[in-house]
């Protein structure tokens, strides 16, 4: 089995407790990474802004990444469901695409009167050297709206770099509002309102009396985003994509941040209590303690009922960021399921430190895995289920193991206490489906 692991990849793979692995590097040439490109990373972060226009400056193929293959929901505008592309062809590559980009911006302004446009520079734009920044600057001057370039050629790094470019675009949007007067409440960073998860979290915060100033970027709008600099605290759910923005907002706007996670009973409860302790009154803290206790009690009998079906099973986890992997390991522990393989696309050294402290001696830990490695270790460790995203689903089914989609494509909430119910039911149904008895492994 070891023969399927490339020599240069070995330092990205560790075993069990106290293992340290290499991470936060570009993918190895010749190893087919499960990561998406820089542009896709940027689009993941910005697409949920519901009244923004997204112009993909590049060939039409780059624009195939649309709202319809993600699941962020809106309580207002649904403009973000549209995609716009300059559809660059050979002639534009030879003579330059700036005129086409200007025409695309003009057309959107004329037809839709937008407040906010993002322009994504894709690979070919990075190669031919269109001055996207200058085109955006001129459009901002001409129309008095925000037209923000997102420097995201696919070859300019890895998916994490795309997150950073998206955060820079948000910072550019917030720049004129940096010194607005402060207000009570938090910004939620790194939740994308998949299947309405942001609404669940906002309801929990409401229960404990903590106001939400702005959400970045799930169910956000131009007008809600620009209020973000007034908040007391940033709470960061998807640390992989948003820690950079949180740090910048701390430096430039004086807003401190804490990392939280609303996946699993334990993490959700701890997060709510920590938020109350960070900015709340004694009353908020008491409310948080009482609310989380009530919810934990409510779920206890439910989880006990399912535990007997799940105990002793083995799970493999391969997800985008470290925070989700950490929460999933804890959730599986609560269910009596052992995590035997765990990896992420963009985990950081501190994430892997926590991961290695939570797993058993023989658990395989991987950064930026390729399908051959996942196959090798899923088989070697005898995993019964793989939790991942759209790119991992076919791998699980080809190997004859159960699968749970924990990525942006899903249509049901997995966050918060209600998400625990959905997640447990899905894991149980998938793991204990009668179909697996007909599979020859
Ligand atoms: S790698 Fe380049 S060409 Fe491919 S989708 Fe990303 S930006 Fe477009």
- C-alpha 351 – ligand 1 centre gap (Å): 28
Of residues 70 and 6, more confidently modeled: 6
CA–CA distance, 22 with 27 (Å, rounded to integer): 11
CATH label, 38-176, candidates 2.70.70.10, 3.30.70.3420, 3.40.50.1980, 3.10.20.30: 3.40.50.1980
Which tens digit of pLDDT belongs to each residue from 150-163? 999 999 998 899 99
Q: Whose CA is nearest to atom 3 of ligand 1?
A: 123
CA–CA distance, 148 with 120 (Å, rounded to integer): 9
Q: Whose CA is nearest to atom 1 of ligand 1?
A: 154
Nearest to 250 by CA among 225, 223, 224, 229: 229
CB 198 within 8 A of CB 191: yes
Identify the burial level of 391 via C-beta atoms within 10 angstroms of its C-beta, where 0-12 means exposed, 13-18 middle and 19 or more buried: middle
Predicted local confidence at residue 3, as pLDDT: 64
CA–CA distance, 194 with 414 (Å, rounded to integer): 9
Task: Select from 44, 65, 121, 122 the residue to mutate for testing ligand 1; criterion: most ligand atoms less than 8 Å from CB.
Answer: 122
**The residue count for the chain:** 441
Residue 81 has pLDDT above 60, yes or no: yes
- Two structure tokens written together for 66: 């649309």
Predicted local confidence at residue 441, as pLDDT: 66
Q: How many CB atoms lie within 10 A of CB 377?
A: 25
CATH label, 2-31+311-410, candidates 3.40.50.300, 3.20.20.10, 3.40.50.720, 3.40.50.1980: 3.40.50.1980
Which tens digit of pLDDT belongs to each residue from 228-254? 999 999 999 988 899 999 999 999 999
Residue 227 has pLDDT above 70, yes or no: yes
Which tens digit of pLDDT belongs to each residue from 335-367? 999 999 999 999 999 999 999 999 999 999 999
Residue 300 has pLDDT above 90, yes or no: yes
Predicted local confidence at residue 239, as pLDDT: 83
- Domain boundaries, given as residue ranges, for the chain: 2-31+311-410, 38-176, 186-289
pTM flag (> 0.75): yes
Binding pocket residue ranges, ligand 1, CB within 6 Å: 37, 39, 58, 62, 122-123, 154
Range in 26-35, 118-127, 259-268 with the lowest mean pLDDT: 26-35
Predicted local confidence at residue 16, as pLDDT: 86
Provide the CATH number for the domain formed by 186-289 in this structure: 3.40.50.1980
Mean pLDDT for 168-177 is: 98
Residue 209 has pLDDT above 80, yes or no: yes
Do 2-31+311-410 and 186-289 show the same overall fold? yes
Contacts of 148 (CB under 8 A, 6+ apart): 116, 117, 118, 119, 136, 169, 172, 173
Share of the chain above pLDDT 70, in %: 99
Predicted local confidence at residue 296, as pLDDT: 97
| Alpha-carbon torsion (387, 391, 394, 395), positive or negative | negative
Residue 18 has pLDDT above 70, yes or no: no
Residue 1 has pLDDT above 60, yes or no: no
Identify the burial level of 180 via C-beta atoms within 10 angstroms of its C-beta, where 0-12 means exposed, 13-18 middle and 19 or more buried: middle
User: Looking at ligand 1, which atom is closest to the CA of residue 36?
Assistant: 6
| Alpha-carbon torsion (90, 96, 98, 100), positive or negative | negative
Instruction: Verify cis geometry, omega within 30 degrees of 0, for the bond prior to 117.
Output: no
Which tens digit of pLDDT belongs to each residue from 43-58? 999 999 999 999 999 9
Tell me the Ramachandran region of residue 196: left when phi exceeds 0, alpha when psi lies from -120 to 50, beta otherwise: left
CB 339 within 8 A of CB 359: yes
CA–CA distance, 416 with 291 (Å, rounded to integer): 13
Question: Quick one: DSSP state of residue 340?
Answer: E
Residue 19 has pLDDT above 80, yes or no: no
Residue 137 has pLDDT above 80, yes or no: yes
Burial 356-366 (b: 16+ CB within 10 A, else e): bebbeeebbbb
Predicted local confidence at residue 388, as pLDDT: 96
């Amino acid at each position: 089995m070891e023969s399927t692991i490339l020599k240069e990849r070995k330092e990205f793979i560790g075993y069990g407790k106290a293992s340290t692995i290499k991470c936060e590097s570009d993918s190895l040439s010749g190893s087919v990474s499960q990561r998406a490109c820089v542009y896709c990373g940027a689009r993941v972060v910005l697409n949920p802004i519901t009244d923004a226009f997204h112009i993909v400056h590049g060939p039409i193929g780059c624009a195939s990444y649309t709202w319809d293959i993600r699941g962020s929901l809106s309580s207002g505008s649904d403009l973000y469901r549209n995609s716009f592309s300059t559809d660059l062809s050979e002639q534009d590559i030879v003579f330059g695409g700036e005129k086409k980009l200007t025409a695309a911006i003009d057309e959107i302004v004329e037809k839709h009167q937008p407040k906010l446009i993002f322009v994504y520079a894709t690979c070919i734009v990075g190669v031919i050297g269109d001055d996207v920044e200058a085109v955006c600057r001129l459009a901002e001057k001409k129309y008095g709206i925000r037209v923000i370039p997102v420097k995201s050629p696919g070859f300019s790094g890895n998916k994490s770099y795309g997150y950073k470019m998206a955060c820079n675009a948000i910072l550019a949007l917030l720049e004129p509002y940096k010194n607005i007067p402060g207000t009570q409440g938090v910004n939620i960073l790194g939740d994308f309102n998949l299947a309405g998860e942001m609404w669940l979290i906002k309801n929990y915060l409401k229960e404990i009396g903590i106001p939400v100033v702005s959400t970045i970027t799930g169910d956000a709008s131009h007008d809600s985003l620009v209020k973000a600099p007034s908040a007391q605290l940033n709470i960061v759910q998807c640390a992989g994509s948003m820690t950079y923005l949180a740090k910048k907002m701390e430096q430039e706007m004086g807003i401190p941040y804490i990392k939280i996670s609303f996946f699993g009973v334990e993490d959700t409860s701890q997060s709510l209590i920590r938020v109350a302790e960070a900015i709340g009154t004694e009353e908020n803290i008491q409310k948080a303690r009482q609310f989380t206790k009530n919810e934990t009690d409510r779920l206890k009998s439910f989880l006990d009922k399912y535990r007997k079906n799940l105990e002793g099973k083995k799970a493999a986890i391969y997800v985008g960021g470290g925070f989700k992997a950490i929460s999933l390991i804890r959730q599986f522990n609560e269910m009596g399921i052992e995590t035997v393989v765990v990896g992420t696309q963009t985990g950081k050294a501190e994430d892997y430190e926590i991961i290695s402290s939570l797993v058993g001696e023989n658990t395989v830990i991987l950064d930026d895995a390729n399908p051959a490695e996942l196959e090798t270790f899923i088989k070697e460790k005898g995993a019964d289920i793989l939790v991942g995203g759209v790119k991992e689903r076919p791998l699980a089914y080809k190997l004859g193991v159960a699968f749970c989609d924990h990525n942006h494509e899903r249509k049901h909430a997995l966050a918060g206490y209600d998400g625990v119910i959905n997640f447990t039911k899905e894991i149980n149904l998938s793991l204990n489906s009668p179909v697996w008895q007909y599979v020859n492994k």
